[in-house]
Amino acid sequence: MTETTVGIGGAAEGTDMVLNIGPQHPSTHGVLRLRLILDGERISHAEPVIGYMHRGAEKLFEARDYRQIIMLANRHDWLSAFSNELGVVIAVERMLGMEVPERAVWTRTLLAELNRVLNHLMFLGSYPLELGGITPVFYAFREREELQNILEEVSGGRMHYMFNRVGGLKEDLPNGWLGRAREAVADVRSRMDVFDRLVLGNEIFRGRTRGVGVLTPQTVHAYGVSGPIARASGVDFDLRRDEPYLAYGELQDTLNVATRTEGDCLARFECLLEQTHNSLDLADACLDRIAELPPGPINQRLPKVLKAPEGHTYAWTENPLGINGYYLVSKGDKTPYRLKLRSASYNNIQALTELLPGTLVADMVAILGSMFFVVGDIDK
């Protein structure tokens, strides 16, 4: 009996293909680079490559005084500028042992929730766009414009508000602003059902997201993932409820933390949408309370040169994209000795190394978009 071996050339060999997504790819929300190793159409390894937008914010904090660092802090997540400022001023106020006026506390809470809605509306519009649906982004920007006009009227800024100050806020609310804010919140709420019908009711959108990119609770804990992404995987943690700051302790009846157990792209989108609805309710509750408050100061008088006493503290806030932490070390000078920033997107995006392997290239954009990140928040 004779055996004949027939050579089939290179087709017998398995070759891995390295594919770079970014750093200028439209679906990466900026200059994020993904280095993928493919086995056919399936991803076998994924590595997020970051740092293309790094500007050394933490080092710059050490060369600015406590008033100036607010400007630096509101820029890393440019969709959540007001919330970014909050963490810094709360940390400095804690170091100083400073009591913030009640009017400022409630106004901060209101503006933080309006900023949360602005952030979420951007992703509620851009995520369907990445999956081929162009219409939702027009609706999202219509609602964003209405709320941005309100925030611009009160602070003078459209994206970088610079309205927080150590000890309170820059100035009191303009005459008639509460009424205009209430109308804007009501208008946006009345049109939010478009995302339920147009996006969640779309069978193509559901087909592209259901069961895709499942993030397990174990991976959430291992990588420190937080915010709506973590809650979509069943990790029910929200600082506004579990460790209240600002006026959230008095808003527990209104606060509803959206959670899901599926952990897929669809669950993440549903959590974001449900959280947007709840933020509008929280904004209404804040407007009601501010209207009841007697006239009073909106900030504390500060010395010309503000120095924090020697020591250290850690402040964390529930930012729109997840937990932001600020570790402040002071040597008693007018500038921080060290200010370490823990940003939500930095931790959240690391989970892609676990999430992408085993999935198809076609699902990569769907998974990446559902991580709801801002590149500046990763690179700082």
- Helix, strand or coil for residue 185? helix
The CA distance from 197 to 194, in Å, is 5
pLDDT at 217: 94
Please say whether the dihedral angle defined by the alpha carbons of residues 346, 351, 357 and 358, taken in this order, is positive or negative.
negative
pLDDT at 14: 53
Q: Are 119 and 279 in contact (CB under 8 A)?
A: no
- Of 215, 171, 196, the C-alpha closest to 367 is 215
pLDDT at 55: 82
Cβ-Cβ contacts under 8 Å for 295 (sequence gap 6 or more): none
Topology of domain 9-379 in CATH is: Cytochrome-c3 Hydrogenase; chain B (1.10.645)
pLDDT at 77: 86
The pTM of the whole model exceeds 0.85: yes
The CA distance from 38 to 31, in Å, is 21
The phi and psi torsions of 280 (rounded to 5 degrees) equal -65, -40
- Residue 358 token pair: 């085993």
Q: Are 34 and 358 in contact (CB under 8 A)?
A: no
What is the enclosing helix (H) or strand (E) of 285?
A: helix 265-292
Question: What Å distances lie between residue 112 and 116, 219, 222, 246, 327, CA to CA?
Answer: 6, 29, 28, 10, 21
Q: Which residue ranges in the chain fall short of pLDDT 50? A: 3-12
CB neighbour class for 264 (10 Å; exposed up to 12, middle 13-18, buried from 19): buried
What is the enclosing helix (H) or strand (E) of 151?
A: helix 135-155
- Across the chain, mean pLDDT equals 90
pLDDT at 367: 92
Q: Are 276 and 125 in contact (CB under 8 A)?
A: no
Question: In angstroms, how far is CA 41 from the centroid of its own chain?
Answer: 31
The CA distance from 110 to 34, in Å, is 37
